[in-house]
Amino acid sequence: AEETEAFVARQPTSRAFRDRATHLAGGATSNWQIADPQPVWISHGRGSRIWDVDGCEYSDFHGGYGVALAGHAHPAIVAAVTERVGRGTHFAQPTEDAIAVADNLAERFGLPLWRFGNSGTEATMDAVHLMRAATGRSRILKVEGGYHGHHDSVEVSVLPEADDDIGPRERPHNVLDNSGIPTEITDLVTVVPFNDLEVVAQVLDEHPGEVAGMIVEPVMMNAGIIHPLPGYLAGLKELLHRHGALLAFDEVKTGMTVGPSGVTGIQGVTPDLVCLAKAIGGGVSTAAIGGTDEVMSLIADGGYEQVGTFNGNPLAMAAARAMLTEVLTPAAYTHLEHLRTRMETGLQGVIDEHALPWRVITAGAKGCVSFLPDEVHDFRDFLTLDGRYGHAHWLVQHNRGAFLPPWGKVEQWLMSVQHTDEDVDRFVANFAHLAERLTR
* Closer by beta carbon to ligand PLP, 51 or else 407: 407
Q: List Cα–Cα distances, 170 to 79, 208, 213, 245, 250, in angstroms.
A: 51, 19, 19, 21, 22
Our answer to whether residue 147 is catalytic in this structure is yes
Task: Using CB positions, name the residue nearest to ligand PLP.
Answer: 120
* Closer by beta carbon to ligand PLP, 250 or else 423: 250
How many chain residues interact with ligand PLP (CB under 6 A)?
Answer: 14
CB 220 within 8 Å of CB 105? no
Of the candidates 109, 147, 194, 371, which one interacts with ligand PLP according to CB under 6 A?
A: 147
Assign 76 to helix, strand or coil.
helix
Site for ligand PLP in 373-432 (CB under 6 A): none
Of the candidates 252, 316, 323, 368, which one interacts with ligand PLP according to CB under 6 A?
A: 252
Among the listed residues 253, 278, 366, 409, the single catalytic one is 278
The helix-helix angle for 232-242 and 197-206 (nearest 10°) equals: 10
Our answer to whether residue 250 is catalytic in this structure is yes
Closest CA to 257 of 385, 367, 406, 397: 367
Provide, rounded to whole angstroms, the least separation between the CB of residue 187 and ligand PLP. Answer: 22
Provide, rounded to whole angstroms, the least separation between the CB of residue 192 and ligand PLP. Answer: 17
Q: Which residues contact 97 (CB under 8 A, 6 or more apart)?
A: 84, 314, 317, 318, 320, 321
Site for ligand PLP in 63-82 (CB under 6 A): 65
Q: What does the buried/exposed string (b/e) look like for 70-95 if buried means 16 or more CB atoms within 10 Å of the residue's CB?
A: bbbebebbbebbeebeeeeeeeeeeb
Of the candidates 60, 250, 272, 423, which one interacts with ligand PLP according to CB under 6 A?
A: 250
* Closer by beta carbon to ligand PLP, 11 or else 121: 121
φ/ψ (deg, to 5) at 404: -115, 160
CB 426 within 8 Å of CB 59? yes
Provide, rounded to whole angstroms, the least separation between the CB of residue 324 and ligand PLP. Answer: 18
Provide, rounded to whole angstroms, the least separation between the CB of residue 434 and ligand PLP. Answer: 25
Among the listed residues 58, 147, 304, 389, the single catalytic one is 147
Residue 208 sits at the vertex; the CA angle it makes with 202 and 213, to the nearest 5 degrees, is 80
Using the contact rule CB under 6 A, the part of the chain among 229-237, 249-257, 345-353, 380-388 near ligand PLP is 249-257
Question: 367-375 long-range contacts, Cβ below 8 Å, gap at least 24?
Answer: 367/225, 367/340, 367/343, 367/412, 367/413, 368/224, 368/225, 368/411, 368/412, 368/413, 369/393, 369/431, 370/224, 370/225
Our answer to whether residue 237 is catalytic in this structure is no
Provide, rounded to whole angstroms, the least separation between the CB of residue 134 and ligand PLP. Answer: 20
Determine if 277 is a binding residue for ligand PLP (CB under 6 A). Answer: yes
* Closer by beta carbon to ligand PLP, 124 or else 306: 124
* Closer by beta carbon to ligand PLP, 104 or else 285: 285
Give the N- to C-terminal CA distance of the chain in Å, as an integer: 16
Provide, rounded to whole angstroms, the least separation between the CB of residue 60 and ligand PLP. Answer: 17
Interface contacts to ligand PLP, rule CB under 6 A? 65, 119-121, 124, 147-149, 217, 221, 250, 252-253, 277
Please list the active-site residues: 147, 250, 278
